[in-house]
């Protein structure tokens, strides 16, 4: 099972997107664990080896360099969720992007 983490300012604004991603995964019979957390908790998740891919919410895109410094040494892929997909709550598209990063 792959673990997809979405990180935003407080971990709450991405919860609706997580729900839509889970629905898309269920419809496609994809076995993934998807969770939203505040960016302040990313370091703990990485240290616990609980991340296969990290997606940053557009509102915290300014933290991309900091996340790269944390994740690149552990070969954990990461990206920023597109503003359009985030705004439209396009769970299917964001799930596809996360899975592409894992492969």
Residue 57 CB partners (closer than 8 Å, separation 6+) = 6, 7, 8, 9, 13, 14, 80, 81, 86
| φ/ψ of residue 76, rounded to 5 | -100, 115
Q: Which positions are annotated as active-site residues?
A: 8
């Amino acid at each position: 099972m792959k673990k997809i983490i979405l990180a935003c300012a407080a971990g709450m604004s991405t919860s609706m997107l997580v729900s839509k991603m889970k629905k898309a995964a269920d419809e496609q019979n994809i076995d993934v664990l998807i969770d939203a957390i505040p960016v302040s908790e990313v370091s703990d998740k990485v240290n616990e080896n609980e991340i296969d891919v990290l997606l940053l919410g557009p509102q915290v895109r300014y933290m991309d360099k900091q996340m790269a410094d944390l994740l690149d040494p552990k070969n954990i892929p990461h990206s920023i969720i597109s503003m359009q997909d985030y705004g439209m709550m396009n769970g299917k598209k964001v799930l596809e992007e996360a899975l592409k990063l894992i492969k």
